[in-house]
Amino acid sequence: MPSRGHRTLVADADSGTLLQDLPFCGVWAMTTYDACDYGCEYCVTYAQGRARPLVARGEVADRLRRELVRIPRGVTIAAGCLVDNYPGTEADEQVTREALEVLVEDGREALIITKGTTVTRDIDLLLAHPSIDVKVSIITLDEEEAARLEPRAPTPAARLATVRELHDAGVEASVMVLPMVPGVTDVRPIIEWAGGEIPVSIGPMSVMNPVIATSRFGRDFDQLEVGRQYYEEMRSVGPHPNVQWLRPPYADYDPAVTFAGRSCEQTEATGGVGDSSSRAEQVVRHVLAAEVNAIGVLAMEVFSPYVRIYRGRPPARRLADQGRGLPEVAELTARSAGLRRTVVSVDVDGDLVSAVHSIEGTLDEPWDETPPGTRARLSLASAFRFDRYGMIIEVWQEVIELSFDA
Ligand code: SF4
């Protein structure tokens, strides 16, 4: 498989598109720079390089207003999913600040993920926004490890100071320990620092990116092992107030454990990752898990930015819900607790991987005429087509059956 170049997931710099739909992640990514210069070893966005504004200062606001018009209300605008919007140069460029002014004016739900310290410059705007969270990414407090794995990012100490300053100013700020890297990340001192006062969210490393397996981590990982170690760490650290563990995509789960965030109790599959014979099949299982595990962002590394989602089975090409996927899936996962996924089969045929699977959950709010407390079950046929770089470029989904049990 050819290696992937940089920027494959970033909005086309020539078109200057600031907002990009991330199917399966449930957000639109806002990207104000064409690349990220922090150089993280575990980066899954393939967007590393010299950070330059995607749109020139003074032109960002108009561009963003035009793009926001086509995005439905209720969708989160997430800055920093693909490229950090606060690189060092933002102190001079101020293009992210210009975009933030528009988000304040627009007032829809927004999220910032960053390692950049310049975000504190924008405290005035963050306080003026009705609904915005700032997640500061920190994977270790060990300065040497951080210098090795995130060579051009601000130091962990500087990032902790950033979270503290945001929090003390009244901004909804938290620490995001994502990815938690086995053997590198010790969440205890981070949790201790946060003291139950500042929220901490933790998620496992994703190694679907082949670069990670041959990186400066000094060893290879497989995703199942990462999931297991993450899970063991979660049990050993134990519950802490204001600490949220995201459910890992792969692991041997204890159904008694309920992960914070979406109340997903158990994931079932007929075969574990260890049984999977191809990377494409593993990727598809990863994506199917992401659908119910509220970690869709971990799946973004496998989607081309040009992915299309169709309703039906291949070769039909009728876009599903304007390309965002099946509304039935979105409704069920948004309105249900106790989500459970079952994979019935996964078949690989060349560049096409087909799966039959189901998602079920107990409604915790009404869905049309169906009252809360009802068990809802969606049986689905899905197919994923990969390009030669291993990115998913087309998805087909069809509802086989939707049923409700009182
Ligand atoms: S800050 Fe984020 S986008 Fe930038 S290199 Fe690190 S992981 Fe990648």
**How many domains is the chain partitioned into structurally?**
2
Q: How many helices (H) and strands (E) does the chain have?
A: 11, 15
Tell whether 211 and 356 lie within a shared domain: no
pLDDT of residue 297: 46
Return the closest-CA partner of residue 258 out of 269, 268, 247. Answer: 247
**pLDDT above 90 for 129:** yes
Tell whether 163 and 290 lie within a shared domain: no
Give residue 75 CA to ligand 1 midpoint distance, Å. 23
**Residues forming beta bridges with residue 363, ordered by sequence position:** 336
Tell whether 218 and 328 lie within a shared domain: no
Give the pLDDT mean for 337-357: 85
Residue 252 lies in a domain: no
**Residues forming beta bridges with residue 361, ordered by sequence position:** 376
Please tell me the chain's helix, strand, coil percentages from 3-state DSSP, rounded to the nearest 5. 30, 30, 40
Q: Whose CA is nearest to atom 7 of ligand 1?
A: 43
CB atoms within 10 A of CB 214: 9
CA–CA distance, 211 with 342 (Å, rounded to integer): 30
pLDDT of residue 228: 76
Tell whether 310 and 377 lie within a shared domain: yes
Tell whether 240 and 267 lie within a shared domain: no
Residue 325 lies in a domain: yes
CA–CA distance, 35 with 7 (Å, rounded to integer): 7
Give residue 7 CA to ligand 1 midpoint distance, Å. 12
The domain boundary, picked from 195, 217, 245, lies at: 245
Per-chain mean pLDDT for the chain: 81
Name the more confident of 115 and 235. 115
CA–CA distance, 255 with 264 (Å, rounded to integer): 9
Tell whether 280 and 350 lie within a shared domain: yes
Q: Whose CA is nearest to atom 3 of ligand 1?
A: 83
Residue 210 lies in a domain: yes
The per-residue b/e assignment along 127-148, b for 16 or more CB within 10 angstroms, e otherwise, is eebeebbbbbbbbbbeeebbee
Tell whether 142 and 276 lie within a shared domain: no
Contact 287, 24 (CB under 8 A): yes
Q: What is the pTM of this model?
A: 0.73
Residue 225 is part of a domain; what is its CATH number?
3.20.20.70
The torsion angles phi and psi of 234, rounded to 5 degrees, stand at -60, -45
**Alpha carbon separation from 338 to 267, 360, 377, 397 (Å, rounded):** 10, 8, 12, 23
**pLDDT above 50 for 182:** yes
Tell whether 239 and 281 lie within a shared domain: no
Residue 251 lies in a domain: no
The domain boundary, picked from 210, 245, 280, lies at: 245
Q: Starting at the edge strand that comes first in sequence, how are the strands of the sheet with 375-386 ordered?
A: 264-269, 336-349, 352-363, 375-386, 392-405, 303-311, 318-319
Give residue 321 CA to ligand 1 midpoint distance, Å. 31
Q: Starting at the edge strand that comes first in sequence, how are the strands of the sheet with 19-22 ordered?
A: 19-22, 27-30, 76-79, 110-114, 132-137, 172-180, 200-204, 243-245
CA–CA distance, 10 with 266 (Å, rounded to integer): 33
pLDDT tens digits along 39-97: 998 887 767 889 999 999 999 999 999 999 988 777 889 999 888 999 999 999 999 99
Return the closest-CA partner of residue 256 out of 185, 376, 338. Answer: 338
Residue 380 is part of a domain; what is its CATH number?
3.10.450.50
Give the pLDDT mean for 110-126: 97
* pLDDT over 90, % of the chain: 43
Residue 163 lies in a domain: yes
Contact 77, 30 (CB under 8 A): yes
The per-residue b/e assignment along 274-283, b for 16 or more CB within 10 angstroms, e otherwise, is eebeeebbbb
CB within 8 Å of 28: residues ≥ 6 apart: 19, 20, 21, 22, 71, 75, 76, 77, 78
**Token digits of residue 219:** 């060893």
Q: E-assigned strands of 11-60?
A: 19-22, 27-30
Name the more confident of 89 and 256. 89
Shortest-distance atom of ligand 1 to CA 83: 3
Tell whether 232 and 355 lie within a shared domain: no
Tell whether 14 and 99 lie within a shared domain: yes
CA–CA distance, 180 with 48 (Å, rounded to integer): 20
Q: Whose CA is nearest to atom 6 of ligand 1?
A: 40
Residue 105 lies in a domain: yes
Give the pLDDT mean for 384-392: 77
Give residue 195 CA to ligand 1 midpoint distance, Å. 26
Give residue 334 CA to ligand 1 midpoint distance, Å. 28
Give residue 287 CA to ligand 1 midpoint distance, Å. 21
Give residue 84 CA to ligand 1 midpoint distance, Å. 6
User: Which residues constitute the domain of residue 392?
Assistant: 258-406
Name the more confident of 208 and 223. 223
**pLDDT above 90 for 276:** no
Residue 253 lies in a domain: no
The domain boundary, picked from 186, 217, 245, lies at: 245
**Token digits of residue 353:** 């991987």
What confidence tier does 248 reach under pLDDT thresholds 50, 70, 90? Answer: low
Tell whether 193 and 326 lie within a shared domain: no
Tell whether 118 and 85 lie within a shared domain: yes
**Token digits of residue 194:** 């946060």
Residue 270 lies in a domain: yes
Q: Which residues line ligand 1 (CB under 6 A)?
A: 36, 38-40, 43, 45, 47-48, 83-84, 115
Strongest mean pLDDT among 94-98, 325-329, 344-348, 385-389: 94-98
